[in-house]
Structure 1
């Protein structure tokens, strides 16, 4: 009897919670920004539109970054529901955050592209429940300039404070109950991105 081959997770693939109209990304802020954002469904006036803001479709990568919501200035973890057309606009207008010889003829060309791009992409190793790196990458999408303004004012459908979920999962991990912890993780699945878009963003 022949066994079916096990699918190998590709090194570069966008995985996220998503519907036909929206995709969920994660951010973490101090309570003074995160709590009003979740309460009102939009960022407060103290949120700076002129700064680069990074969104992460991976819940576990966000947990790695914010220490399950325990790091200073990242105590409030937000699940931000974004319109798919906005998310995809950002990907189409993004540049890699680092110079890739296979994509850019030289560093000067990459810097020119970076300067005119309102978004940038970075791929970092995905993480498991213990924050150990996995052999495939997780997308981080940086939004600046026009992209940051559109994100805050046009793309956001809703904002949820998921700090209690992060705390609960973290507690189960610390107690050694990985099965229950894994069962509470948001269900993330491959997000369809056109090959020609990803081809410019993988290196």
Structure 2
């Protein structure tokens, strides 16, 4: 993508080695994962699993950890190497004529790819849509195995944080809610990965500068 505003940004909590993503599950899956340090039964590897670097988009998806089977929110630190492998093997979940000569070519790529990427409007504290978009990454097949076996370095239960932020929002104290949020910044996405998943060019330029900051 060239020109225009930064509309497709990977924003996340990250350090030199890992990036944090979020998932919401029922207690049975969450508690087993917290105990094992990765996903184990009753988690099903055969199903596509979606990871989200945006905390507020996760809150929008799970309704502040209130929706059925999404009552527990997990923050998972995964290796940046694994995260970037996923993007390098991803296919956009929608047909983009700038990247594919035909819908048939896109469908073939989608079928053969172990990773899907889609961009949805980022959310504010009231869960209203914002002008820029947040990335969602769907893992299947080989990507799920790599995620479960190799990429996850730590798992935390952030359900209490979700409830605390929601309580502050409900009370109308947005400054308090904002102060509780994880500090997300633009991820330093390499140019070839930004191109593959449809990231904004300006994101890469900004991310390079942010990545050089201690």
TM-score by length of 1: 0.94
Counting matched residue pairs gives: 196
1:160-187 Cα distance to aligned partner (Å, 9 max, x none): 0000000011000000000000000000
Report the secondary structure of 1:180's partner residue. helix
Shift of 1:9: 6.6
Q: Give the structure 1 partner of residue 167 of structure 2.
A: 171
Alpha-carbon shift at residue 84 of structure 1 (Å): 0.6
Corresponding residue for residue 23 of structure 1: 19
1: CA distance between counterparts of 2:83 and 2:5? 22
More divergent stretch after superposition (193-202 vs 64-73): 193-202
Aligned to 2:62: 66
Which residue is 2:43 aligned to? 47
Q: Give me the whole-angstrom Cα distance separating, in 2, the residues matched to 1:106 and 1:17.
A: 36
Aligned-pair CA distance for 1:189: 0.5
1:141-156 aligned within 5 A: 141-156=137-152
Give distance in 2, aligned partners of 1:39 and 1:182: 30
The 2-side partners of 1:183 and 1:71 are apart by 24
Corresponding residue for residue 80 of structure 2: 84
Match of 2:8 among 12, 21, 45: 12
Distance in 1 (alpha carbons) for counterparts of 2:141 and 2:153:
20
Gaps of 5+ in 1: 1-7
Question: Which residue of structure 2 aligns with residue 159 of structure 1?
Answer: 155
* Superposition misfits of 4+ residues, deviation over 3 angstroms: none
1:136 paired with 2:132, answer yes
Matched, 1:75 2:83: no
TM-score normalized by structure 2?
A: 0.89
